[in-house]
Amino acid sequence: MFDKLHTGRRSFIGMVAAVVSLTGILGAWPAVAQQAQTQAKEFRVGWQKGSNLAILKARGNLDKRLNAAGVKVTWIEFTAGPQMLEGLNVGSIDFACVGETPPVFAQAAGAALVYVANEPPAPNAEKILVPKNSPIKSVAELQGKRIVLNKGSNVHYLLLRGLERAGLKYADAKVIYLPPPEARVAFESGDVDAWVIWDPFAQAAIGQIGARELLGGKDAGVENYNFYLSTASFSKNHPEVLQWALEEIRVAGDWTISNFGDAAKILAPQIGLSEEITRDALQHYGYGVTYPLADKVIANQQAIADAFHELKLIPKQLDVQSVVWKP
């Protein structure tokens, strides 16, 4: 065909047909290449009980969407964000949803992660709690007190900002690091003076044992974004799988907003809480996935990283912008 085309012995109609055919082949090439990028056989999702991804898992829409494309969805449970991002770092999962601080600690540890998307800020979903009968009435009174939290979780920054606003330094408090279940035991037994925790754990402590809110995220001036993250390799090789996942997360979020009661029925048994407490916790979160990350979101995350570096809680200066996914 090309020999005839070059020697000019083809008719005008034949030349047009050849050009159209060649254009079709070349035009299809990017689509073929793009399709090859969606050929992941498995999508491993990290999730926590009581989370938005728990609703997505229960409703099954992500599994249905990806199974139709030949991709198996595997759900792997974690107790908290830092542990989940450790899973991301060692390659046991491809996708995770955590608060603001876990990605900072993970990036500082050398994890090859990328920020894929974020949800709206949810400052009301995290709190500093004190026991029901505690004499402590203000954050300033936490000086020298024992405060428990999950190291590297979103509430780690809440404590930092809360102490700062009260005129205290981070070193002025005795910070103890425990995951939520153990922290609840220590808090309830009186081994610690305050607990910095997120919902639904915070709402559970308030509703079940009368814990008192000393400071909320909004009053501390924190944003408390939730982030969706993946690995650098997965986001590069399978970007459309991430986009499909985000689309289904958005659908699940819209459903939750319209059905807080039904969403609570899904989550309450998972976390051993009443539907009423679970519904209250759900209403403290933001819904609506946004990607790529906006400049103000990146700036907020950079400020958190800088604050932890200044306190020497992470070993090096970070550049958050460098690990933001650009689909």
- Condensed to tens digits (0 to 9), the pLDDT of residues 272-307 reads 899 999 999 999 999 999 999 999 999 999 999 999
Q: Which helix (H) or strand (E) holds 103?
A: helix 101-108
Distance (Å) of CA 79 to CA 47, 48, 225: 8, 6, 19
Q: Alpha-carbon distance 325 to 235, whole Å?
A: 8
- Please give the sequence-ordered ranges of beta strands (E in DSSP) within 4-133, or none if there are none: 42-47, 72-77, 95-98, 113-118, 126-130
pTM, two decimal places: 0.83
- Write down the residue that tokens 């930092």 correspond to: 160
Which residues make Cβ contacts (< 8 Å) with residue 240, sequence separation at least 6? 34, 37, 38
Verify that 265 and 127 share a domain, yes or no.
no
Evaluate whether residue 207 is within a structural domain.
yes
What is residue 96's predicted lDDT score, i.e. its pLDDT?
Answer: 97
Verify that 100 and 142 share a domain, yes or no.
no
pLDDT digits (tens, 9 = 90+) for 162-184: 999 999 999 999 999 999 999 99
Which residues make Cβ contacts (< 8 Å) with residue 274, sequence separation at least 6? 207, 268
Evaluate whether residue 269 is within a structural domain.
yes
End-to-end CA distance of the chain: 39
Verify that 201 and 81 share a domain, yes or no.
no
pLDDT digits (tens, 9 = 90+) for 127-174: 999 999 999 999 999 999 999 999 988 899 999 999 999 999 999 999
Verify that 214 and 244 share a domain, yes or no.
no
Q: Alpha-carbon distance 85 to 228, whole Å?
A: 11
Return the CATH number at 132: 3.40.190.10
Verify that 115 and 243 share a domain, yes or no.
yes
Verify that 209 and 270 share a domain, yes or no.
no
Verify that 134 and 155 share a domain, yes or no.
yes
Average pLDDT over residues 65-70: 94
Verify that 308 and 252 share a domain, yes or no.
yes
Verify that 155 and 116 share a domain, yes or no.
no
What order do you get walking across the sheet with 146-149 strand by strand? 174-177, 146-149, 194-198, 126-130, 212-216
Indicate the number of domains in the chain: 2
| % of residues, the chain, pLDDT over 90 | 82
Which residues make Cβ contacts (< 8 Å) with residue 119, sequence separation at least 6? 52, 225, 226, 227, 253, 285, 286, 287, 288, 289, 290
Evaluate whether residue 3 is within a structural domain.
no
Verify that 189 and 249 share a domain, yes or no.
no
Evaluate whether residue 303 is within a structural domain.
yes
Verify that 249 and 307 share a domain, yes or no.
yes
pLDDT at 34 over 70: no
Evaluate whether residue 24 is within a structural domain.
no
Q: Alpha-carbon distance 121 to 244, whole Å?
A: 23
What is residue 248's predicted lDDT score, i.e. its pLDDT?
Answer: 97
Evaluate whether residue 53 is within a structural domain.
yes
- Give the domain extent around 128: 123-220
User: CB 148: neighbour CB atoms within 10 A?
Assistant: 25
Evaluate whether residue 26 is within a structural domain.
no
* Residue 167 · residue 237 · CB < 8 Å: no
pLDDT at 38 over 80: no
